[in-house]
């Protein structure tokens, strides 16, 4: 069965600084990978996803993520964080033959002015 | 196009009471899901459905029942609420099919407190 680990429960950055949120997965074959964002009091919204092709994926709101098979990672990055990026971020993995994605426990992003 | 909607947004129950949470989607999606979200636990799948008239258990199904009588609706029931069911409940839907790259669309959530 697949699994997802988000090692950081909380991340604090200053506004304007760069951001990297870590995600590691466990699965034997090529996974399908997702990043979702949850603003306070809201549901989850898809930021980006990877399922084939270019390993560097561009998403909404200026986010990108890179799939690294050798490291079993799919880290989320943003070059310059805005105060409105403060939210909970979830990584998820889907696999061939299963339409039920597995979610990580989430990383809470705090942005200081 | 409202996407995924959930009713109600908030609810307070006493232990032993029953209630039904309603999820509706207008995107003609085949698959629908119910999750619960608890601090530090991420999202945990309760039940899901791959089409009208079908349901299946997820990771944490005990104490919950579901029904999918119409394609656009997915109901989550609590027959006898317990304090451990205090949580935020999210419904999601997806197009379905064979693609594991399918995107899930989430509702705004229902905050349930059981006293």
A54-81 pLDDT tens trace: 899 999 999 999 999 999 999 999 999 9
pLDDT for B62 equals: 96
Contact B100 A95 (CB under 8 A): yes
Of A43, A100, A106, the CB nearest to B42: A106
Of B41, B96, B108, the CB nearest to A99: B96
8 A C-beta contact, residue A79 and residue A70: no
CA B23/CA B25 separation, integer angstroms: 7
B32-46 pLDDT tens trace: 999 999 988 889 999
Cα of B76 vs its chain's centroid, Å: 6
Phi–psi pair at A95, nearest 5 degrees: -135, 155
In chain A, what's the furthest Cα-to-Cα distance? 45
Q: What is the CA radius of gyration of chain A?
A: 13
The C-alpha of A16 sits at a distance from chain B's nearest C-alpha, in angstroms, of 27
């Amino acid at each position: 069965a697949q699994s997802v680990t988000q090692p950081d429960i909380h991340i604090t950055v200053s506004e304007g600084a760069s951001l990297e949120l870590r995600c590691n997965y466990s699965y034997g074959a090529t996974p399908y990978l997702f990043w979702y964002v949850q603003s306070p009091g809201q549901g989850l919204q898809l930021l980006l996803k990877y399922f084939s092709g270019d390993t560097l994926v561009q998403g909404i709101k200026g986010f990108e993520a890179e799939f690294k098979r050798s490291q079993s990672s799919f880290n989320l990055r943003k070059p310059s964080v805005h105060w409105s990026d403060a939210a909970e971020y979830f990584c998820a993995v889907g696999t061939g033959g299963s339409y039920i994605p597995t979610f990580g426990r989430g990383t809470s992003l705090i942005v200081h002015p | 196009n409202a996407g995924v909607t959930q009713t109600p947004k908030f609810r307070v129950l006493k232990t032993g009471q029953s209630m039904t949470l309603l999820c509706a989607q207008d995107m003609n999606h085949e698959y629908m899901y119910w999750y619960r979200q608890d601090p530090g636990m991420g999202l945990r799948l309760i039940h899901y459905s791959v089409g009208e008239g079908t349901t299946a258990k997820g990771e944490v199904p005990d104490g919950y029942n579901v029904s999918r009588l119409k394609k656009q609706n997915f109901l989550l029931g609590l027959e006898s609420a317990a304090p451990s069911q205090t949580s935020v409940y999210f419904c999601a839907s997806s197009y379905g099919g064979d693609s594991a790259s399918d995107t899930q669309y989430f509702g705004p959530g229902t905050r349930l407190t059981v006293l």
